[in-house]
Amino acid sequence: MFLFSDDEHSFSVCTCAKCGSTSLFVALYKLVSGSDYDRHGPPWVHNFVAWNFPNVTESKYAGKLHLIMTRDPVERYISTLHSKVKCFSDH
């Protein structure tokens, strides 16, 4: 789990796969670093430990403010099905 903490704040994030976590981690990177995440390829933005920022760590404990990000499984299934049908219809 992502944890940002300093003397006054602690903020944690828990995400599942395929729920928009890439966009979330890109935004978190920008908030923490003040710049855009511009890497293409490994290490991926989800590998926040590789960011090498002193206040960003991996933790099994939630911060004072905790965000849990999920996605409705039915909506995910419909989105995947739509994506696959669209891919096959383009060829």
Q: Provide the pLDDT confidence category of residue 90 given band limits of 50, 70 and 90.
A: low
Kindly report the pTM of this predicted structure.
Answer: 0.74
Model confidence over 16-56: pLDDT tens digits?
877 878 889 999 999 999 999 998 888 899 999 999 999 99
Please answer whether residues 56 and 3 qualify as being in contact, where contact means their C-beta atoms are separated by less than 8 angstroms.
Answer: yes
| Selection from 44, 38, 52, 46 nearest residue 14 by Cα | 46
Q: Give the number of other CB atoms < 10 A from CB of residue 47.
A: 12
CB 55 within 8 A of CB 5: yes
Pairing of strands 10-15, 65-69: parallel
Q: Residue 52: what pLDDT?
A: 92
